[in-house]
Amino acid sequence: MRKIYLYILFIFLITCFNNTGKAQLIYYMVPDTGSQGTTFPVTILGSETYWTASTYVEIYFDSTGVYGTNVAIINDTTLTASVDIWGNSYVGYHKLIVSDQFLNFITKDSAFFVKLSAPIAPVLVLPPDNYQLANTNPLFTWDTNGYAATFRIQVSTDSLFNNLIKDTTKQNMQGYQIPDILQLNTYYWWRVKFFNTLGESPWSVVFKFKTKITGINLISSNTPQFYKLYENYPNPFNPVTKIKFDIPSYGFPLGAYGNDKVVLKVYDLLGKEIATLVNDYLNAGSYEISWNANYLSSGIYFYRFSTSSFVETKRMALIK
* CATH code for the domain in which residue 108 is found: 2.60.40.10
In a shared domain, residues 21 and 108: yes
Which of 160, 191, 211 marks a domain boundary?
211
Looking at this protein, which amino acid is placed at residue 205? V
Dihedral sign from CA coordinates of 251, 243, 211, 129: positive
CA 320, CA 195: separation in Å to the nearest integer?
51
Whether the ω angle into residue 202 lies within 30 degrees of 0, i.e. cis, is: no
Checking if the pLDDT of 71 tops 90, the result is yes
* Whether residue 109 has pLDDT greater than 90: yes
The residue out of 115, 143, 170 marking a domain boundary is 115
Based on the fold, state whether residues 88 and 192 are members of the same structural domain.
Answer: no
Residues with Cβ < 8 Å from 156, sequence gap 6 or more? 162, 163, 164, 165, 188, 189, 190
E strands, 86-230, in order: 92-100, 105-115, 123-126, 131-134, 139-143, 150-156, 164-171, 175-177, 187-196, 199-200, 207-211, 214-220, 228-229
Whether 172 and 239 share a structural domain: no
The answer to whether residues 194 and 287 belong to one domain is no
Give the chain's domain count. Answer: 3
pLDDT-wise least confident of 1-15, 20-34, 195-209, 216-230: 1-15
Query: Residue 51: what residue type?
Result: W
**Contacts with 84 (C-beta within 8 Å, 6 or more apart), sequence order:** 39, 66, 67, 68, 69
DSSP state of 2: H
Are 164 and 60 in the same domain?
no
The dihedrals phi and psi of 34, each to the nearest 5 degrees, come to -155, 155
Q: DSSP class of residue 232?
A: P
Residue 90: other Cβ atoms inside 10 A: 14
Is 95 in the same domain as 196?
no
Query: Which residue stretches of 22-118 are H helix?
Result: none
Cα dihedral: 243, 246, 252, 254 (round 10)? 80
Residues 229 and 201 in one domain: no
Share of the chain above pLDDT 90, in %: 51
Highest mean pLDDT, choosing among 143-147, 150-154, 185-189, 223-227: 150-154
Going by C-alpha positions, the residue among 44, 96, 24 that lies closest to residue 67 is 96
Name the amino acid, one letter, at 108.
K
Which domain-ending residue is among 95, 115, 135?
115
Nearest Cα neighbor of 175 from 137, 141, 206 is 141
Least confident stretch, 154-158, 192-196, 222-226, 240-244: 222-226
Q: Supply the CATH number for residue 265's domain.
A: 2.60.40.1930
Within 8 A by CB and 6+ apart from 210, the residues are 131, 132, 133, 134, 185, 186, 187, 188
Largest CA distance in the chain: 103
Query: What pLDDT was estimated at residue 99?
Result: 94
The segment with the largest mean pLDDT, out of 74-78, 116-120, 198-202, is: 74-78
pTM: 0.53
206 and 182 belong to one structural domain:
yes
What counts of helices (H) and strands (E) characterise the chain?
Answer: 1, 25
**Other beta carbons within 10 Å of 237:** 18
150 with 51, same domain: the answer is no
Containing domain of residue 220, as a range?
214-318
Residues 85 and 178 in one domain: no
Q: Is the pLDDT of residue 7 over 60?
A: no
Q: Both 219 and 191 in a single domain?
A: no
pLDDT above 90 for 33: yes
Task: Give the DSSP H/E element, type plus range, for residue 5.
Answer: helix 2-21
Assess whether 275 and 196 both reside in one domain: no
Amino acid at 281: Y
